[in-house]
Structure 1
């Protein structure tokens, strides 16, 4: 049950991002704003998430995991209610930042609790399971969002997110113990955090795997930010059809995460990441070719989306575990840095793919290719700096 609650916490971010993506055209119309401003609501959320993780990680290293976790969930709950009542896109942007801060607390501290409680192959296994079960969130989110739009309006979507935040709050109160004993806590404030960050930044393997995940997230968020406009406005799909497509892709990611959890018992995690990066890169290049020369046909777009999303299940869990294994003595700060890299990279992707408006998939395709290539580069660098003595300690 503890793993289930931790997974739910890690799913708050995908829920808050993906559930209302099918409603982008409706929200843009009601609030009289543009597609690029709507995509900024994603950027606002991820900037908030990044800020929340910067605060939550070192704070939890000092005072324990449970109290900051409860604070973050309450903030996310209240901000979600505020989003449902937002009268303008400007207010929605502010509330999305606050929602992101609360979500960032949950994401980073859920991961930190896991690192406190597990080690070695078990860490790889459970982190992949969390990634896989957490994949239920992006599967359910757009489908639920599409269903809500059939019977209601976009504001009800945020009320559902608020209800899910309340469920997470109850789960933490009832099931999550304090995982960081007083003897392992670090005294000090922001200066201590900076000292821990400097220490981690000197660890080549940690930094490399952090950036592998960050730039894979850049490619993934380019898809998340622009896919609704590409599929609905360029290809002519309905919001429900888009939600089904999104769910299929997310199901692929969940399946690959769960498969990866089993395979890490016998196969080095780096080999799984390598396969994932190769497939994602090929799919992104296919989308780029389709955008440049073939007028973005559905027979290229839909398979390319699937093979960009599904293999991420082999990348994020293993990349995060390989990085986390290098930061066990201050897991909160290490988890914050992982989340910060992920969120910052993802927040950059959202406005970039909106440069050409809603009638071109080229910026999205370029962003996906660039993200894949940079992620692959840091993967190679991680391999050059790691030890082969322990197949679960670094890289092969």
Structure 2
């Protein structure tokens, strides 16, 4: 049950980011606003999430995990209820910032609690599960939103997020103990946070694995941002056919996350990351070749999309766990830095893939290849710093 609660915490933020995107036209019509203002509600949530992660990590290193976690989930719950009854777009913007702050608390502190409570193979197993759900959440969120809209209106989307927040709040209250003893807490405010960040930035292995994840997210978000245009407008597929393809890719990522969680009991996580990076890189290069020389055929595009998305399940969880293993003495700050690196990299991928409009897959393919190459480069650098793959898992006794 503890794993379920922590996994739900890691998923609330990503789900709240994108779940109501299918309802944008309905929201704009009801609230009497423009499409650009609706896009600002996504930006507002990202700003809130970034702020929440920056605050939650160091605050929990000082106060412990439980109290900040309860504060963050309660804020997310109340803001989600507020979004469901928002009377105008200005109120929705403010509430989305607050919702993002609460979601950021949950994302960071869920990882921090896990790092406090587990070690060795168990850390890698649960981190794979959490990262798998967290990584697939922003991909399936629009699909979930679309299903909700079949039976209700846009406000019901926020009701669902409110229910998830309430379940998480009850789970933390009754199932999650305080995981950071007083002896391991750090006094100080923002200066302490900055000092801890500087300490972590001097740890080459932590930085390398953080950037492995960040640039894998860069490649993944290129797919998320542009795949609908490629599949529907360039290949001529229907929206239903695209949704099926999207769901298959997402389930592939989830399946490999769960498989990776099982394999880490006997296989070093670096070996799993290596396999994932090789497959993703080959898929991205095949998409680039298809875009440059073959007029983007479906027989290249669809398999390339699957093998770009699914192997991320072998990368995110293991990369996050290997980085977190380097930040145990201030896990909250380390978790915040991981989240910020992931979010920042993902957020800059979206505008890059739209450079050539909606009638070329080349910017998307280039962005994906660049992300894969940079991620692979930092993976190699991390291996040099840690001595490569070993039979002993980090943190194991």
Q: 1:137 to 1:105 in 2, by over 3 A?
A: same
Q: 1:265 to 1:231 in 2, by over 3 A?
A: same
**Which stretch shows the higher mean deviation, 153-162 or 106-115?**
153-162
Distance 2:384 2:341 in 1: 21
Equivalent residues of 1:222, 1:349 under 8 A apart: yes
Equivalent residues of 2:64, 2:185 under 8 A apart: yes
**Which stretch shows the higher mean deviation, 51-60 or 365-374?**
365-374
Question: Secondary structure of 2:74's match?
Answer: helix
Displacement of 1:312 in angstroms is 0.5
Structure 2 gaps of 5+ residues are none
Displacement of 1:216 in angstroms is 0.7
Q: 1:74 to 1:246 in 2, by over 3 A?
A: farther
- What is the Cα-based RMSD across aligned positions, in Å? 3.1
Q: 1:354 to 1:73 in 2, by over 3 A?
A: farther
**Which stretch shows the higher mean deviation, 75-84 or 213-222?**
75-84
Displacement of 1:35 in angstroms is 7.6
Equivalent residues of 1:286, 1:300 under 8 A apart: yes
**Which stretch shows the higher mean deviation, 77-86 or 360-369?**
77-86
Question: Secondary structure of 1:360's match?
Answer: coil
Displacement of 1:315 in angstroms is 0.3
Distance 2:31 2:349 in 1: 23
**Which stretch shows the higher mean deviation, 23-32 or 296-305?**
23-32
Displacement of 1:138 in angstroms is 5.4
Structure 1 gaps of 5+ residues are none
Partner in structure 1 of residue 380 of structure 2: 380
**Which stretch shows the higher mean deviation, 237-246 or 368-377?**
237-246
Equivalent residues of 2:268, 2:391 under 8 A apart: no
Q: 1:9 to 1:132 in 2, by over 3 A?
A: same
**Which stretch shows the higher mean deviation, 181-190 or 150-159?**
150-159
Q: 1:222 to 1:94 in 2, by over 3 A?
A: farther
Q: Aligned residue pairs: how many?
A: 396
Distance 1:94 1:303 in 2: 41
Distance 1:287 1:378 in 2: 23
Partner in structure 1 of residue 79 of structure 2: 79
Displacement of 1:88 in angstroms is 6.8
CA deviations on 1:165-219 (whole Å, 9 max, x unpaired) are 2221221122111111112111111111111111111110000000101111111
Equivalent residues of 1:53, 1:108 under 8 A apart: yes
Question: Secondary structure of 1:79's match?
Answer: helix
Question: Secondary structure of 2:392's match?
Answer: coil
CA deviations on 1:286-316 (whole Å, 9 max, x unpaired) are 2333334444443333222211111001001
Partner in structure 1 of residue 300 of structure 2: 300
Distance 1:242 1:29 in 2: 26
Displacement of 1:395 in angstroms is 13
CA deviations on 1:76-120 (whole Å, 9 max, x unpaired) are 223334444567767655544332221111011000000000111
Question: Secondary structure of 1:365's match?
Answer: helix
Displacement of 1:366 in angstroms is 2.3
Distance 1:76 1:60 in 2: 17
Q: 1:301 to 1:97 in 2, by over 3 A?
A: farther
Q: 1:31 to 1:224 in 2, by over 3 A?
A: farther
**Which stretch shows the higher mean deviation, 289-298 or 48-57?**
289-298
Question: Secondary structure of 1:211's match?
Answer: helix
Distance 1:85 1:238 in 2: 34
Question: Secondary structure of 1:24's match?
Answer: helix
Question: Secondary structure of 1:245's match?
Answer: helix
Displacement of 1:225 in angstroms is 2.6
